[in-house]
A and B are shown apart, each in its own frame.
Chain A
């Protein structure tokens, strides 16, 4: 909880800094800056990564031998579209359902099948085949 509070504070501070410096970067008054746009699109990424920080998700993944830090690195290496797909799958999780199970399932399937070379969802993985 404390950790999350810190993170939110840090993000607020960052947002504030960006707002202050934004006029310098914008191409033209009123235009939506590239960075602004890039930031919006990585909101999905941020969400997936935040999910991996949850204690229950972390514990469940670790119990199955998945290193959370490595999973995060892989999320970082995904393209925007792939992250959006992943985030979309997570959105499909029904409220009140076995959220944890589905999240863990998605990560396991993606990571494991990627490594075995059946899929190539994560550009990061080198398959053993």
Chain B
């Protein structure tokens, strides 16, 4: 999905109406709504997150407006104007999804992509988390992309409540929403303070979101996310290594050491934790232990040049080099 969302708010209602007509004449209930009716999720019947602020979008700028609402709701106040240069592409009159996520990360927040599931979306709302959604309010052949923020639902009337365009409280039937959302590739994200897990958190997806935060240069925020991940999935290797690596970036060598030790203990076949442990120990000038860890890494790495390089480097940095036979 690489569509830019241009959001032409004034036509949105009209298009939604047209869609509804198309939907009525076309087929009956969209698939996820049908499943929802068959097996109602164990959720409160009605939820509305009234505290989520509303920023009306300016022309075409639903991306920055939606992101600003979600960021503010997550405790990091932001305005659409401040975000516009980060996410808005003037020549395409819209924002790319990846840029919306990247902009959230630049604010030190974790961008979590939801599974393309209506019941997951509702579960997040029930857990008090507003959801940024991408809709195609037009037709597949004539797209009219639009970002909005879902802030509530009513299971009885089967309606979703959105902050959308110029409308602070738009109610849209589940079936219309599902169709417009499906045309937007079922794209939905949460913007979370990095220590919080989504209600529908999936291990690989969450850890990947934390890795993206680390890559964005937000070491401290990423570290919090890795900690949250490990509280739920204590043996996840990537999160363990991420915790150690972010600690290293922040020069917290004790913490780095502890994280790499844990990773090495839980994953005895992996050389990477030992390799990094060796370097964290070297930073603390604990040369003997560093040398031992690096040697074990080399053995496990079976000829991997990176592990060998680490061992060589530690040997070079040691103030006094022990005789080889004492290794």
Mutual binders A and B: yes
Residue of B nearest to A74 (CB): B115
**Chain A CB within 8 A of B310 CB:** yes
| A126 and B272 within 8 A (CB) | no
| B116 and A28 within 8 A (CB) | no
With both chains docked as a complex, state the minimum distance between the C-beta of A79 and any C-beta of chain B, in angstroms: 4
**Chain A CB within 8 A of B241 CB:** yes
Using a CB–CB distance below 8 Å, which chain B residues touch chain A?
35, 38-39, 115-117, 119, 202-205, 207-208, 211, 214-215, 236-238, 241-242, 244-249, 256, 272, 275-276, 279-280, 283, 306, 309-310, 313
Neighbouring A residues of B246 by C-beta, 8 Å: 27, 34
A contacts with B, residue count (CB < 8 A): 25
Which are the 9 A-B pairs with shortest beta-carbon distances?
A: A27-B248, A27-B245, A32-B272, A34-B242, A79-B203, A27-B249, A31-B276, A28-B248, A79-B204
Interface residues of A in 26-63 (CB under 8 A from B): 26-35, 37-38, 41
Roughly how many angstroms separate A123 CA and B237 CA in the complex, as a whole number? 20
Neighbouring A residues of B211 by C-beta, 8 Å: 34-35, 38
| A31 and B238 within 8 A (CB) | no
Neighbouring B residues of A29 by C-beta, 8 Å: 279
**Chain B CB within 8 A of A1 CB:** no
Residue of A nearest to B253 (CB): A28
| A32 and B306 within 8 A (CB) | yes
Dominant secondary structure at the A interface: loop
Roughly how many angstroms separate A29 CA and B203 CA in the complex, as a whole number? 28
**Chain B CB within 8 A of A17 CB:** no
| B203 and A34 within 8 A (CB) | no
**Chain B CB within 8 A of A128 CB:** yes
**Chain B CB within 8 A of A68 CB:** no
Neighbouring B residues of A32 by C-beta, 8 Å: 241, 272, 275-276, 306
With both chains docked as a complex, state the minimum distance between the C-beta of B107 and any C-beta of chain A, in angstroms: 19
Residue of A nearest to B226 (CB): A34
